[in-house]
Amino acid sequence: MVLSLALEFPLYQCGPIKPAGFRVSGDGGDGGGRGGFPSFLPKEVHKIRDPFARNLAQRIQRLPVQLWKSHIKRPMTLVGPSLGAAVAIDFAVNFPEAVDKLILINANVYAEGTGVMTRLPKMVAYGMASLLKSMPIRWYAKLLVFDGISVSRLLDYTDVGRLHCLLPWWEDATVNFMLSGGYNVTGQIKRVNQKTLLICGERDKIVNSKLAVRLQNELPNASMRKVPGCGHMPQIENPYVIAKMIADFAREDATCDDRPLSYELVDYIPCKN
């Protein structure tokens, strides 16, 4: 998921986080999280019991180029977590007029494509895609990240994490991603001219910390903030801290709104050691 922030607009309310002076943009769908579910989300989102997780699922939105051209129409701060960081870099390099700043969270940008998977028979690739969206695999992935949370909440985060897998075209898109070679943006990193903030969970077991340092060194204008006690998904594990980091960075060098932000830190989710 990739988010964009534009200054001078109210932020759509999402739980108790209400930083003034921002608009969070995406494809609004039929409901956009305000009285209904976006049309591209499967109905399984209704089964999510945890109010925060359900609220988050309602706001899973996409950011195609056309949306920026037709609605945003101004440079934005682009936020990309994990593999979304590769998408954000690709977008920033190819549409520099659309991106003012980049925020990359536990950036997974050095995987040079899908490797040997490009040679898989299509039937085997579809089998792998089917396995990837299975509940046991998604459950196990969450167990690797989160620790000390209830089974019901873990199930809710698993449901949120596999929503995109339930879209009717997901398997076709995943197989195409595998066989086409996937994302490879290593050659674009040094071409990123935008000011960039790297946010890294200190306990991230997915992206090696050495790669984060390498990325900071290769980006022309980058700084790094580490989040103690968090793994690969600090935006879920400690969303209030991440929201403040994002808002503070987006407001740097901006004159439209100098009001300080304050957040109440609640519901910290510890990660595995």
- Is 104 in a helix, a strand, or coil? strand
| Residue 260 covered by a domain | no
For residue 269, what pLDDT is reported? Answer: 39
As for how many domains the chain has, the answer is: 1
pLDDT at 252: 83
Euclidean distance between CA atoms 185 and 202, whole angstroms: 24
Query: Would residue 195 count as lying in a domain?
Result: yes
pLDDT of residue 218: 96
> Could you tell me if residue 167 is inside a domain?
no
pTM score of the predicted model: 0.70
Asked if the structure places residue 67 within a domain, the reply is yes
Task: Find out whether 23 and 73 touch, Cβ atoms under 8 Å.
Answer: no
CA 112 to chain centre: 20
Whole-angstrom Cα distance, residue 39 to residue 118? 32
For residue 59, tell me if it sits in a domain.
yes
Position 21 in a domain: no
Alpha carbons 186 and 166: distance in angstroms, whole number? 30
96 is a domain residue: yes
Confirm whether 165 is domain-assigned.
Answer: no
Provide the residue range defining the domain that includes 104.
Answer: 2-13+37-118+183-252
CATH number at residue 104: 3.40.50.1820
**Which stretches in the chain have pLDDT values below 50?**
1-2, 5-18, 26-41, 62-63, 255-273
As annotated, the active-site residues are 82, 204, 232
State residue 73's pLDDT score.
Answer: 79
Whole-number Å distance between alpha carbons of 158 and 140:
9
- pLDDT for 178 equals 86
